[in-house]
Structure 1
Amino acid sequence: MKVFKTSGVCAREIRFKINDKNIIEKVSFIGGCNGNQSAISALAEGQTVKEVANKLAGIECRNGTSCPDQLSKALKKLA
């Protein structure tokens, strides 16, 4: 499982697992709003890294970022 320390959002970190075909198998957020993050995880799991990273990039909540945007950054950096 890879771990990404977030910045500018309520969640402290994002943990995710990607298989050898670049499919996201698991996403979990530590801290923050459970409902929103559960929805993001459910939508991302089973999708390709590229597809999810591109769709979520640039979504803003506050501080010029959001939990979806942070997941995009995590996938681009660590996947």
Structure 2
Amino acid sequence: MQYRPTGVCSRLIEFTLDDNNCIHDVQFTGGCNGNLKGISSLIEGMNAQEALQRLSGITCGIKNTSCPDQLAKAIQASLASAQ
């Protein structure tokens, strides 16, 4: 899955979902490198629905979104396209 986030510093989010809807190989292009590597590591192998619930609605500063929130939107889009 490739997703172009909006309203954040990262420019691209990439990941894969396996047959059990578990998340793998999350990569961000742009953004806060260390933080995004941490998020990617924490959700590696996590069920997509659980990650979606944990990441949705997180904000960054005064923005109404964040890179984790945009990742949640990417996961939601990926799940919707798989149905």
TM-score under structure 2 length normalisation: 0.90
Structure 1 unaligned regions, length at least 5: none
> TM-score, length-normalised on structure 1?
0.94
Name the counterpart of 2:25. Answer: 26
Secondary structure of 2:25's partner?
strand
Aligned residue-pair number: 78
Residues 6-58 of structure 1: CA deviation (Å, up to 9, x unaligned): 00000001000110000111100011111010001001111000000100000
* TM superposition outliers: structure 1 runs of 4+ over 3 Å: none
Q: Distance in 2 between matches of 1:42 and 1:6?
A: 19
Report the AA paired with residue 66 of structure 2.
Answer: S
* Equivalent residue runs for 1:1-79 within 5 Å: 2-61=1-60, 62-79=62-79
Larger radius of gyration: 2
Letter matched to residue 70 of structure 2: Q
Distance 2:19 2:66 in 1: 27
Structure 2: stretches of 5+ with no match in the other structure: none
Aligned-pair identity (%): 46
Distance 1:10 1:38 in 2: 14
